[in-house]
Amino acid sequence: MIGDALKRLTRHSAVYAAVPAVHKLLGFLLLPLVTAYIGTRGNFGVVEMAAVTVAVAAQVLGINLLHGMTRFYKDYETERERLQLVSTCFLILLATTVGALLLAVVFAEPGAALFFGSREYAPALVLTAGILVAQTASQVGLRWLQILERSLVYGVVTSVKLVLEIGLKVWFLVGLGLAYTGVLYSVLIGELVVAVTVGAVLLARAGLAFSGAMARRLVRYSMPLVLSGLCMFVLHQGDRFFVLDLLGPEEVGLYALCYKLGAIGNTLIFDAFGLIWFPLVFGLRDAAERERLVRVVLVAFNVVLCTFSLALALFSAELTRLMADASFFEAHRAMPIVVAGYVFWALFQLASTELYVRERTGVVSLLVAGAAVANLGLNALLVPRLGYPGAAWATLATFALLAAATWVVVGRLAGARYDVARVLIPIALGSGLFLAGERLADGSSTGALVLRAGLVAALPGILWIGGFLKAEERDKIRRLFAVAPGRPPPGGAAA
């Protein structure tokens, strides 16, 4: 029944949306403490590169097996077979990541020079490899909970892990003065708690059983996903390697902070919205109604995101000063560029909705792969000339090209017709207001802050007074967010 499915999706999506949002918010709130006690900008850069290394290594070593586990779990009829599937996935990932850990121990110093820019960070490489093992294993357990629709347990487990990591991070940094190793130790211990628990449960219930047939099925399914996963990694994190290689870990630290703060809009607004939006739009049966809804949301959500992004860009200096140690303050220079990039990233996600609905995921992969190649070229061109702001400009240009290409492809393959001008108007207006703020409201005086706040308010105000949102669009937005759990969305019907 579609109604029952939407009810479950709404309930579980709310938890899955809320938990990461709260976790990321707490991570942002910890930034002042971390940047003050981590020692140097280079140390902060090493922590960032550790996260990047874990992300790319996980893709190469098989994290996409989790997609196969999700896909095939319900294919098996008995509880024993399903547990064996989870156990097989767990053992494969444990084997590949432990192998990586052993290599990190043996080649710690040359590996640190490659990934972190200096042999002195050899302990960081070993800790990073340990985090990779524990985090990958813990992800098996968390995905298992998602498959079982145990969203409340998922929220409790991840929250306990987060509280443990935060407590340890404060103790290691402030109490013991461990600098960057304190951050890495706190993450490692938090992930280990979940990983050991998963292993114990599987051992008790399934005996850590391994199936060769299941392993082959998982590998066949997940291998094609490695390329798209690596392309996504390039888009969001690959630029750190250019900055590290050309400018060193100090500049990586500045860029990492700039990027974290610049992506707040995507983290707090679009990520949560997307978890609810996609299940909702997939429930619409009428293609014409779905296209109209996407068109309305593209316009209205873009106004919200542009307003929030304008606020981030205009108050980037104050936000950076509030959220980081004084040695990181100059990172605010490139923050508005990253902010603008993630406006286009959100537009790409919304514009590609029709491709996902029509199961044209191969087209999405090709678009992302093309964007990844463009991103590499732009970083190679801009970072040597502009420093870490060049990486930010590469991000903006890549995401804008990706959004435009997706818009064209969706129009040609799916016949969807979205109003380009009405999406670009808020972006152009926001850009003009930002430039006006940079020229007229420089500094942190009370008058300058008030003027900037007025410019932020002016964006939706001008659009509202000018009649930018049509009556039909306002009505559809109210209906979209008024959908009650268990009721079919606008244009849909319960089966």
pLDDT digits (tens, 9 = 90+) for 261-298: 888 888 777 776 765 676 567 666 667 777 777 777 78
Counting Cβ atoms within 10 Å, is residue 268 exposed (0-12), middle (13-18) or buried (19+)? middle
The mean per-residue pLDDT over the stretch 69-92 comes to 87
The angle that helices 388-414 and 249-262 make with each other, rounded to 10 degrees, is 40
- Between residues 358 and 9, the one the model is more confident about: 358
Q: What is the pLDDT of residues 388-430, one digit of tens each?
A: 999 999 999 999 999 999 988 888 876 667 778 888 999 999 9
Q: What is the pLDDT of residues 119-137, one digit of tens each?
A: 999 999 999 999 999 999 9
Q: What is the mean pLDDT of the chain?
A: 82
Residue 445 CA: distances (Å) to CA of 179, 206, 321, 369, 440 = 35, 64, 14, 45, 12
Could you tell me how many residues make up the chain? Answer: 495
Asked if the model's pLDDT at residue 146 lies above 80, the reply is no
Asked if the model's pLDDT at residue 3 lies above 50, the reply is no
pLDDT of residue 132: 95
Beta-carbon contacts of 27 under 8 Å, excluding residues fewer than 6 positions away, are none
Asked if the model's pLDDT at residue 476 lies above 70, the reply is no
Nearest to 7 by CA among 491, 490, 489, 476: 489
**Angle at CA of residue 324, ends 318 and 330, nearest 5°:** 65
Asked if the model's pLDDT at residue 494 lies above 50, the reply is no
pLDDT of residue 325: 82
- Between residues 117 and 414, the one the model is more confident about: 117
Whole-angstrom Cα distance, residue 308 to residue 41? Answer: 28
Rg from Cα positions in the chain: 23
pLDDT of residue 487: 37
Whole-angstrom Cα distance, residue 90 to residue 146? Answer: 15
Give rounded-to-5 percent helix, strand, coil for the chain.
85, 0, 15
The mean per-residue pLDDT over the stretch 356-376 comes to 83
pLDDT of residue 455: 92
pLDDT of residue 134: 94
Q: How many Cα neighbours within 13 Å face the side chain of 207? A: 5
pLDDT of residue 172: 93
pLDDT of residue 11: 53
Could you identify the residue written with the tokens 């607004």? 269
The mean per-residue pLDDT over the stretch 153-175 comes to 87
Answer positive or negative: Cα dihedral of 400, 330, 439, 433. positive
- Between residues 354 and 393, the one the model is more confident about: 393
Report which DSSP code applies to 395: H
pLDDT of residue 447: 84
Instruction: Give the number of other Cβ atoms within 10 Å of residue 485's Cβ.
Output: 12
Q: What is the pLDDT of residues 20-32, one digit of tens each?
A: 667 677 777 788 8
**Angle at CA of residue 451, ends 448 and 454, nearest 5°:** 150
Is the Cβ–Cβ distance between 186 and 169 less than 8 Å? yes
Beta-carbon contacts of 490 under 8 Å, excluding residues fewer than 6 positions away, are 284, 289, 293, 476, 479, 480, 483
pLDDT of residue 381: 95
pLDDT-based confidence at residue 301 (cuts at 50, 70, 90): confident
pLDDT of residue 484: 38
pLDDT of residue 472: 63
Whole-angstrom Cα distance, residue 220 to residue 260? Answer: 35
Is the Cβ–Cβ distance between 472 and 297 less than 8 Å? no
Nearest to 320 by CA among 139, 312, 202: 312
Nearest to 46 by CA among 108, 106, 152, 128: 128
Nearest to 262 by CA among 298, 311, 299: 311
Q: What is the pLDDT of residues 181-226, one digit of tens each?
A: 999 999 999 999 988 887 787 778 767 788 999 999 888 878 877 7
pLDDT-based confidence at residue 493 (cuts at 50, 70, 90): very low
**Angle at CA of residue 346, ends 341 and 352, nearest 5°:** 125
Asked if the model's pLDDT at residue 69 lies above 60, the reply is yes
Asked if the model's pLDDT at residue 16 lies above 60, the reply is no
pLDDT of residue 270: 76
Q: What is the pLDDT of residues 40-55, one digit of tens each?
A: 888 888 998 898 899 8
pLDDT-based confidence at residue 260 (cuts at 50, 70, 90): confident
Please tell me the pTM assigned to this model: 0.74
Per cent of the chain over pLDDT 70 is 85
pLDDT of residue 248: 86
Whole-angstrom Cα distance, residue 441 to residue 444? Answer: 8
Whole-angstrom Cα distance, residue 315 to residue 385? Answer: 26
pLDDT of residue 5: 40
